[in-house]
Amino acid sequence: MAIVGAILFAFYSVAVAAAWFFFGQSTTILGIAIVGSVLLVGVQYKVGKWAALRSVGAEDMSEDQYQEIHWMVEDISESMNVKKPRLMIADMGVPNAFAVGRKGAGVVVVSRELMQILEKDEIEGVLAHEIAHIANRDVVTMQLGQGIASIVAIVAQYIVLFTGDNDLADFFLAIFVGQIVQFIVMIFVLAISRYREYVADADAKRAIGNGDPLARALEKISQGNAQAAETSRNAQRTRGRGRQNRQRDSGVDQQVSALCIASPERGFLEKVLSTHPPMEKRIQRLRE
């Protein structure tokens, strides 16, 4: 975590130094672009919470109907020294859960499908994992990482424009270079995301005193997601739908998927670009 964080800081430092070297005092437009990107990250953080909840149709979890769940969350929150997050429930089409918000105003969303397949102690493990994300400010951490990627990309684009002839070809080259640079930085940001999943697993294990319930929950979640994906593929072959409908039938919105406790991965490239580490490695660590 320290190494990857240092690399991200180095990217930011190089971007600032390069901006000063190439532009000197003539940094008005560049400064506006960078400030704008920072403000955009802030807006994304504020709007992202609302958008994630709305995308899955989350609604408040009734204390009368789910009293035991609320008690669990109160105990876990107290052990992690965080304010009890708002509990919500949603129909996601797959067994999953995710957390959004900051330490003092977090929200944990659990799918009804998850509640149906997990035992009491397994649900407790999942809740502890999500509350750990809130306690560790992981949403804020990821937003900062994405912000650094945006700033570095903007600086790279302006350097290409400044050092070239500032014609149409340089304009398209700047866009291309910016995308490549942002992609490279995002590889490190995604590495942070995967590491934060291991940390949340470890914190959940510590909070409930045993890693096996969460390990069992992850196994069931993985199986449930695989079954949902297979059902969706069969339906697609039967109906012959296009790509747009296939994405809609996949269960969880792509942006929300990055927040969930489990995210599917298949090939090498998808693992490198995944927000979550391999499920089997997480389960192995929880049972060590």
Known catalytic residues?
A: 130
For residue 250, give every residue at least 6 positions away whose Cβ sits within 8 Å of its Cβ, in sequence order, or none.
Answer: 229, 232
Other beta carbons less than 10 A from residue 41's beta carbon:
20
HSE toward the beta carbon, residue 1, CA cutoff 13 A: 10
Neighbouring-strand partners of residue 212: none
The number of angstroms, rounded, from the C-alpha of 243 to the middle of its chain's C-alpha atoms is 24
Work out the burial of residue 222: count CB atoms within 10 Å of its CB; fewer than 13 is exposed, 13-18 middle, 19 or more buried: middle
- Going from the C-alpha of 139 to that of each of 57, 130, 154, the distances in angstroms are 20, 11, 23
